[in-house]
Amino acid sequence: MAKRKLQEINAGSMADIAFLLLIFFLVTTTMESNYGIRRKLPPPVDKNQPPPPVIKKKNVLEIVINGQDKMLIEEEPADVKDVKRIAIEFITNNGKDPKSSDNPQKAVISIKHTRETSYKMYISVYNELIAAYNEVRNRYAKQKYGKPFDKLTEDEQKAVKDVYPQKIAESLPKS
């Protein structure tokens, strides 16, 4: 019996096919992009700049989150679900409660957290604060302009933001 020689497979066009498949998948695949938290950072501090004005303690709502994701608001234990309500009360106080903010322009919310604080907890608290500002601005827009904040013109939105500026400060707690 004679040995048959195996025929070779013509692989000349295999590289072309692989290249076309690669191009096809690159063009049709969508990439998910994470943006994180969009916020404008303050400009660098000028050494010759005068010190910032002193803020009265009653105009600062202090939120502290520890490494075990336990939270204190004004030194009282609190849960994430309480943040929005407490923030709204603080922002809209307008001097009614002498222990709380004088007016929305002076109201500052301070978030203090440790390096061990989970990203999920930080984002949850931050989202609740943003929701509080959104609700307060929406209420004011409906009262003043008769329509929700997102339906206002740019100038009207700016006017609402001037009445209720978003002032959220962030720092590490003092050890």
Residue 139 has φ and ψ, to the nearest 5°, of: -60, -45
Contacts of 97 (CB under 8 A, 6+ apart): none
Q: Does residue 13 fall inside a structural domain? A: no
Q: Does residue 163 fall inside a structural domain? A: no
Q: What is the pLDDT of residues 123-155, one digit of tens each?
A: 999 999 999 999 999 999 999 999 999 999 999
Q: Does residue 148 fall inside a structural domain? A: no
Residue 83 has φ and ψ, to the nearest 5°, of: -60, -50
Q: Does residue 79 fall inside a structural domain? A: yes
User: Quick one: pLDDT band at residue 34, thresholds 50, 70, 90?
Assistant: low
Q: What is the pLDDT of residues 63-99, one digit of tens each?
A: 999 989 999 999 999 999 999 999 999 999 987 888 8
Q: Does residue 20 fall inside a structural domain? A: no
Higher per-residue pLDDT: 26 or 7: 26
Could you give the number of structural domains in the chain? Answer: 1
pLDDT at 121 over 70: yes
Q: Say what the pTM is.
A: 0.72
Following CA atoms 75, 78, 81, 87 in sequence, which dihedral angle do they give, to the nearest 10 degrees?
-10
Domain of 129, CATH number, reads 3.30.420.270
Q: Does residue 91 fall inside a structural domain? A: yes
> What pLDDT, on a 0 to 100 scale, did the predictor assign at position 35?
63
Q: Does residue 30 fall inside a structural domain? A: no
Q: Does residue 97 fall inside a structural domain? A: yes
- According to DSSP, the residues that pair with 61 across neighbouring strands are 109
